[in-house]
Amino acid sequence: MRIGELAARAGTTTRTLRYYESRGLLPARRGSNGHRAYDEEDLRLLRQIRMLQDFGFELEETRPFVECLQAGHPAGDSCPASLEVYRAKLAELDACIERLNGIRDQVAGQLDRAERERADLARAADAPDAAAPRCELSAHPAQQPARHNHG
């Protein structure tokens, strides 16, 4: 198949395929007419790359999976190098989750403090002996000093 068909079937662009080719992730085979030529294995390889990128893998991190597929393994993740990339990604994700949980705990603490403060203010405002806060700019008109018009 030609590059346009492969791009359409893989859900990507011909520019992306050329980039993968330049990075050595996609074989650069040419037909007798000089056009790039691809087969179903190339489509499978691209789907593996896209899936890994959807999971958050960097393009270079997909290389061991590509090489595993190209070596003839039915699943690109059964080779030792692929397994090592999985382990590294899991460690990265665990660290990210831990950091996010810490941030979540801080936000939850701030929310809890703010809600308690709001409840305390509401109780104080409802207390019979509590004086309402006074704002000089919004005083009742009867309390405004009289203006004399000397005109």
Classify 48 as helix, strand or coil: helix
Report how far residue 97's alpha carbon sits from residue 101's, in angstroms, rounded to the nearest whole number.
6
- Residue 13: the pLDDT is 94
DSSP H or E stretch at residue 149:
none
Q: Is the pLDDT of residue 69 over 70?
A: yes
**Any idea what DSSP says for residue 133?**
P
- Whether the CB-CB separation of 68 and 85 falls below 8 Å is answered with no
Class of domain 3-121: mainly alpha
Residue of 64, 36, 46, 42 whose CA lies nearest to 10: 46
Residue 125 identity (one-letter amino acid) = A
- Spatial neighbors of 23 by CB under 8 A, at least 6 apart, are 59, 60
Query: Residue range 57-82: average pLDDT?
Result: 91
Is residue 101 predicted with pLDDT exceeding 90? yes
Reduced to 3 states, what is the DSSP secondary structure of residue 36?
strand
Q: What pLDDT, on a 0 to 100 scale, did the predictor assign at position 143?
A: 55
Question: What is residue 68's predicted lDDT score, i.e. its pLDDT?
Answer: 93
pLDDT at 149: 57
Give the pLDDT confidence score for residue 72 in this predicted structure. Answer: 87
pLDDT tens digits, one per residue of 103-150: 999 999 999 999 999 998 988 888 766 555 666 665 555 555 555 555
Which of 49, 53, 56 is CA-nearest to residue 26? 49
Structure confidence at residue 79 (pLDDT): 93
CA dist list (Å): 7 to 16, 70, 94, 105, 108: 8, 19, 34, 44, 45
- pLDDT digits 0-9 by tens, 1-39: 999 999 999 999 999 999 999 999 998 788 888 888 999
Burial class of residue 89 in the structure, from the number of CB atoms within 10 Å of its CB (0-12 exposed, 13-18 middle, 19+ buried)? middle
Determine the Cα–Cα distance for residues 127 and 120; give it in Å rounded to an integer: 11
What pLDDT, on the 0 to 100 scale, is given for residue 123? 87
Task: Output the pLDDT for position 148.
Answer: 56
Q: What number is the average pLDDT over the span 86-110?
A: 96
- d(CA 2, CA 44) in angstroms, rounded, equals 15
